[in-house]
Amino acid sequence: MIAKLNEKILKTNAPIVVGLDPTLKLIPPHILEKAYKEYGKTLKACGEAVFEYNKGIIDAIYDIVPAVKPQIAMYEQFGIEGLIAYKKTVDYAHEKGLIVIADVKRGDIGSTSENYAKAHLGHVDVAGEKLAGFDADFATVNPYLGVDGIKPFIDVCKEEKKGIFILVKTSNKSSGEFQDRLIDGAPLYEHVARKVDEWGKDFMNGNYSYVGAVVGATYPEMGKALRKVMPHSVILVPGYGAQGGKGADLVHFFNEDHLGAIVNSSRGIIAAYQKEEYASFGEMNYADASRQAVIDMRENIKTALN
C-alpha cells in the first residue's frame, strides 16, 4: 500500500490528503434540508447528510488527489448512524480509486489494539469467512502505551499490506505539554520518532516503510529535524491551512525525491465555499470550490518544493 500511495502522489503531482471532517456547520443547508425532509430531524438524517456531502467532495477531487482522511470523531458524534456514514464514505472513496487514511488515533493494550487493528485495517474470522470491518488502508495510532499498543497494528499491517501513521509531533497548540518534555537530553517526540524508525526498518517496501509518522506543519523546524531521524517513514502532515501551516513550511518534510510526506487539509478544502476567496462558487457548488482549493494547495506546495 505504501508503494501505491507514492505512485498516486507522483501521478497526481499532489502530495495531498483531503480530511473528510464533516460537522453540521460545514454542510451546505440544501443538503441538510433534504435529509431533514426525508428522515426528520434525526441522527439518521445527519448521517445521510454527511455521506451526501462527502460524496459530492469525493466526486470533485478523486482524480487530482491520492487520498482522503476521514476523522472518525466527526462521525461518532452521530452514533451508529454516523458510523454507517463513515463506512459508506470509506467504501465510496475506494470505488473512486482513492486511498483511505482512517484518522482514528487508536492505541491500547495488546489485545485491544489487535481488535482495533482488525476493525480498521484487517479482517475478522466469522465461521471460516474472512470479513472486513471498516477496511481503511492506513490508520493513525497513538504510541503512548509503547510497543504493546503498536505491535498488534504492525502485525495486522504485515498480513494485509497496509500501514499506520504514529503520532510523533502533533499540530495542536498544547502538544508541547508532553511531547516537548526533555528526557535524557532530547524531547519526547524525538524518542518516539526513533522508535518509529526502529519499528519501520523491518517493514519496508523499497525506500519507504509501512510505518509512518504524524508531524504537524505548524512546527517546520521540528519537521526538518524529524525528517533526518525517520528517513524512510512517510510523514502525514496536518496543520496546513486552517491551523496556520503554509507551503513554505513543508519543504523539509519531504525527501529529495519529493516523496516522503503527504499533507492534510480538512476545513480549508471541504468548507472552501465558506471562505471569501471561493465565495463566488456558492453553497450549491461547494464541491467545485473544494476542487479549486485542492488545485491552489497543489500549486502552493509545488512552488515551495521547487
- Phi first, then psi: give them for residue 87, nearest 5 degrees: -65, -40
Looking at residue 138, its pLDDT comes to 98
What is the reported pTM? 0.95
Strands 211-215 and 163-169: parallel
> pLDDT in tens for each of the 306 residues of the chain?
889 999 999 999 999 999 999 999 999 999 999 999 999 999 999 999 999 999 999 999 999 999 999 999 999 999 999 999 999 999 999 999 999 999 999 999 989 999 999 999 999 999 999 999 999 999 999 999 999 999 999 999 999 999 999 999 998 889 899 999 999 999 999 999 999 999 999 899 889 999 999 999 888 888 889 999 999 999 999 987 655 556 777 888 998 888 999 999 999 999 999 999 999 999 999 999 999 999 999 999 988 887
Looking at residue 246, its pLDDT comes to 63
Residue where the block lists cell 464514505:
89
Compute the C-alpha angle 174/180/184, nearest 5°. 160
Cα separation, 6 vs 177, in Å, equals 33
Quick one: which of 261, 266, 270 has its CA closest to 288?
270
Catalytic: 105?
Answer: yes
Domains, the chain: 2-305 (3.20.20.70)
Containing H/E element for 94? helix 79-95
Looking at residue 256, its pLDDT comes to 85
Looking at residue 1, its pLDDT comes to 85
Looking at residue 284, its pLDDT comes to 97
The x, y and z cell numbers of residue 301, run together, are: 506546495
Contacts of 160 (CB under 8 A, 6+ apart): 121, 122, 123
The x, y and z cell numbers of residue 148, run together, are: 504493546
Contacts of 56 (CB under 8 A, 6+ apart): 31, 286, 287
Looking at residue 289, its pLDDT comes to 98
Looking at residue 173, its pLDDT comes to 85
Looking at residue 72, its pLDDT comes to 98
Contacts of 231 (CB under 8 A, 6+ apart): 197, 255, 260
Contacts of 258 (CB under 8 A, 6+ apart): 15, 305
Please pick, among 105, 151, 224, 275, the residue that the annotation labels catalytic.
105
Looking at residue 239, its pLDDT comes to 81
Cα separation, 162 vs 117, in Å, equals 10
Contact 208, 233 (CB under 8 A): yes
Looking at residue 80, its pLDDT comes to 98
